[in-house]
Structures are given as structure tokens and as C-alpha cells.
Amino acid sequence: MPRQRLAERLAAARADREAAQAVRTRRVVEAREGMQVLVDGRQLTSFCGNDYLGLSQHLDVVAALQEAAAWHGVGSTGSAGVSGHHAEHAAFEREMAQWLGYERGLFFGTGYQANLAVLQSLLGEGDLCVQDKLNHACLIDGARLSRCELKRYPHADVEAAMRQLMTRRDGVAILATDGVFSMDGDQAPLADLALVARAQDALLYVDDAHGVGVLGPEGRGSLAVAGLGAREVPLLLVPLGKAFGGQGAMLLGSHAVVGHIAETARPYLYSTAPAPAMAAAMRASLKLIRSQPWRRAKLASLVARFRRGASALGLPLQESFTPIQPIVLGDNARALSLSAALEQAGYLVTAIRPPTVPEQQARLRITLSCEHNERDVDGLLAALAEALGARKAPQPA
């Protein structure tokens, strides 16, 4: 019986997850104010979100969302190619393209949708996509669904990326990478990858979900840090659920390439366009990112404070100077145990386990926001020290 076979398969898969301590449970956030969240009736300080600049609840952003919803309604009512492309979408696309130095922008409902759309639209059988092994899942899935040849090089290994590109026979080649890697927090070697892409006549595509808004002059992200622009990186994706504090993603590129994606990408053509009110809110976020550099400065100060304290405790830090500060623990049980101990101490830090990270690299993915303060950081370090049995307690800087 097909239904019985499916039930047996699901039961076996669940049993395997339980045995590996890989069961995922959604926690209900009952209320949130800044970095304070109410979970199961307890107030906790969250160190596991991506609201790096504290814009998700900023009054200007909320007001822009509310006003646009009052004028234009909740939904866009159609796909962008039919009736869903609104003046707010068009204005946001223009402003983002101008800010980051690209000819055209294209607003998507999610970053996952955008990466599926880009790679399926530009690649096909006979083409090649070369990717970092630690790229986000949506970049990998987009390449697989395009039916191109997918090659994945060891993390940040530029020479391996070049060797893989050199295997191309005919067709199009795309070199795709995260700008900042979401689970490790380190930055891709973009300057070197740009040279490789140019030498091998490949299009360099960067998903800078965790870079734009946080890194570089005016918060223009990983490309600005590396001294690159639209010429070296013809396609850039800016997901909006991190520093922008909202939802969706903006693809940036040339009129020709972005126009082709807008006219041919199935995930874009057959999805309802994002709410106009979200575009209005993200325009407000963009204005704050550009006009309030103190948010990035405070965030950088808190990252440095955490790293100093963690180093003094002998914690296993990664080479990350971004708001993503992973503590790699190895097995799932240890990560879950430490997460539970921190929750008892008043801190919400979710354990990250395979397949999100490689096997035996379960971790706590600690993320900082400018909404945190020094007392929050010091308290988290003290809780980590107690939970791990560290010899030294963190000293205020």
C-alpha cells in the first residue's frame, strides 16, 4: 500500500532523527521588544536572530509599513507580470540599484526564491556552476534544479574554484558564493574570486545576505569591503531579512541580465509579488542604513567585546569578525545541552545541527545586534563560562 509505505518511511526517518538528536522543534515567540523575547512564559535575551541593526521594530520602518498598508492594502493581488508590480516596488528597486551602483533591481518575496530563479533562468544542461561548499542551501538547490553541472570547491579555496572552472567545455559558467557565510560568519575571498571569474570568463554571483547593511562604507557590504563593484560582480543578491529587518530580497545587475530573469524565471513569474507595504518598509530601512552609521559602529564594538571575552575564556572562536560568532561543539548532544543551559540562565541561543552544518560540527550560532548592550554581552559570556566550566570569568572591558 503506497500510504502504508509512506507512513513507514516517515516513522523510520523520525526515529533516525531522534536517535541522532536531530529533531527540530519550533519555539513560539509570544512577544518581542528589541532583543528581549517571551518564550514559554519566560523573558529571554535573544542571541540567535539576524536583526543586526535593530530595524525590524524601528518606528520609521513600522510606520512606513502601516501607512503603505492603509493606502495600498495587505497583498499585491497578483504576480509581478500580471498586476502585482506596484509603484512602491519600482521605487525600491530604483533606490537599491542607485545605492549599490547597478543598472537595475528586481524585488523578490524571499532570498530562497531569488536564488532558485536566478540559477534556473541563467543556466541549463551543458552549463557549469561552481560554488563554495558552505554556500547557502538555496544556491545549491538553484543549481541542481537548473540541470547544469554543479561543482563545489572546498571552503574559500580560490585555486580549487579556478581548477573547477577550467573543466568547462562549452556553455555558460557561473561562480556563485555567499559574501558572508551564514553559519561560520567569515567572509568570502571576493577579490581573488573576481580575478578567477574574469580569467575564466565566468559570471561572478554573490549572495550578500549577511554583509549588506553591516559591512563596508555606508553599509554597502562585502563587495565594498573588497573594493569591488558591478563590473567585477555582475549579479548581487541582497536578502532583506537580516540587516534590513524585513522580508524579501533584491537582485541587482545589468538591464539585460535582470530583464532576462524577470521575463523567464519560473519562481518569479509564477509567484504573487511581495506586498507593496513591505517594499515601503524596506525603503525606510534603506534610508536608516544610509543615514545612521552609529548602528554599524555600535555593532562592531559589541562584536569586538564578545570576541575579547570569549578569547579570555578559551572558547573555540572562528575567524569571524561579523555579527555571526559560532561556538563549534561537535556532536548534537553537546550543542543541545549548552543551549538548554543558556536558556536556564536567561539567554536564547538555538543549537544548530546537521544538515544545516556538516556532520560533527554542531554549534551555537551566536549573533549580535546593535540592540544588545554591553551588559547583555557580558552576561552571555558569564553564562557560557559557567555552562562550559571555564576557569576564568569574563572581565568587563
Query: Is residue 10 one of the residues assigned to a domain?
Result: no
φ/ψ of 250, rounded to 5, equals: -115, 120
Residue 12 covered by a domain: no
Beta-carbon-side half-sphere exposure of residue 12 (alpha carbons within 13 Å): 6
How many CB atoms lie under 10 A from the CB of residue 397? 12
Contact between residue 394 and residue 385 where contact means Cβ atoms under 8 Å apart: yes
Q: How far apart are CA 194 and CA 176, in angstroms?
A: 11
Closest residue by Cα to residue 105 from 287, 268, 228, 284: 268
Maximum Cα interatomic distance, the chain, rounded to a whole number of Å: 65
Grid cell at residue 17: 532523527
pLDDT at 300: 97
Residues 286 and 257 in one domain: yes
Region 377-395: mean pLDDT is 79
Q: State whether 298 and 243 are in the same domain.
A: no
Question: What CATH number has the domain bearing residue 311?
Answer: 3.90.1150.10
Kindly state the average pLDDT of the residues 201-213: 98
Handedness of CA 8, 11, 13, 19 (dihedral sign): negative
Residue 231: which CATH number? 3.40.640.10
167 is in an annotated binding site: no
Weakest mean pLDDT among 17-26, 271-280, 333-342 = 17-26
Verify that 26 and 97 share a domain, yes or no. no
**Strand residues in the chain grouped as ranges (E):** 29-33, 36-39, 42-46, 104-108, 128-132, 149-153, 173-178, 203-207, 235-239, 249-253, 324-330, 347-348, 351-352, 362-367
Residue among 148, 145, 129 at smallest CA distance from 204? 129
Is 24 labelled a binding residue? yes
**All cell numbers assigned to 143:** 543549481
**Boundary (domain end) residue, out of 261, 291, 321:** 291
The answer as to whether 346 is a domain residue is: yes
72 lies in the same domain as 210: yes
Residue 236 lies in a domain: yes
Look up residue 229 and give its amino acid: G
Same domain, 317 and 190: no
pLDDT of residue 394: 45
Is 13 within a domain? no
3 confidence band (pLDDT: 50, 70, 90): confident
Residue 151, φ and ψ in degrees, nearest 5: -120, 135
Within-domain flag for 299: yes
Same domain for 247 and 160: yes
Distance, CA of 49 to CA of 241 (rounded, Å) = 10
Domain end call among 241, 269, 291: 291
Task: Cell numbers for 155, please give them.
Answer: 571552503
Q: For the chain, what is the mean pLDDT?
A: 95
pTM above 0.85, yes or no: yes
Residues 341 and 366 in one domain: yes
Q: Looking at the domain assignment, is residue 4 inside a domain?
A: no
User: Does position 390 have pLDDT exceeding 60, yes or no?
Assistant: no
Are the beta carbons of 162 and 112 closer than 8 angstroms?
no
Grid coordinates of 257 = 541580465
Instruction: Give the chain's domain count.
Output: 2
- Which structural domain, as residue segments, surrounds residue 168? 59-291
Per-position DSSP letters for 224-272, written without gaps between them: HHHT--TTT-SEEEEESSSTT-SS-EEEEE-HHHHHHHHHH-HHHHTSB
Q: Quote the DSSP letter at residue 180.
A: B
Q: Is 356 annotated as a binding residue?
A: yes
31 pLDDT above the threshold of 50: yes
Burial of 160 (0-12, 13-18, 19+ CB in 10 A): middle
Tell me: do 76 and 42 sit in the same domain: no
* Whether residues 320 and 235 fall in one domain: no
111: annotated binding-site residue?
yes
Sign of CA dihedral 199, 200, 201, 206: negative
3-state helix, strand, coil in the chain (%, to 5): 45, 20, 35
112 is known to lie in a ligand binding site: yes
In the predicted model, is pLDDT for residue 37 greater than 90? yes
Cell numbers found for residue 205 = 554571483
Residue 395 has pLDDT above 50, yes or no: no
Residues 71 and 198 in one domain: yes
Length of the chain: 397
Last residue of a domain, one of 270, 291, 312: 291
Q: Is residue 330 assigned to a domain?
A: yes
Same-domain status, 240 and 364: no
Report the pLDDT value the prediction gives residue 2, as an integer from 0 to 100.
73
Closest CA to 238 of 225, 264, 220: 220
Which band of pLDDT confidence, cut at 50, 70 and 90, is reported for residue 1?
Answer: low
In a shared domain, residues 302 and 285: no
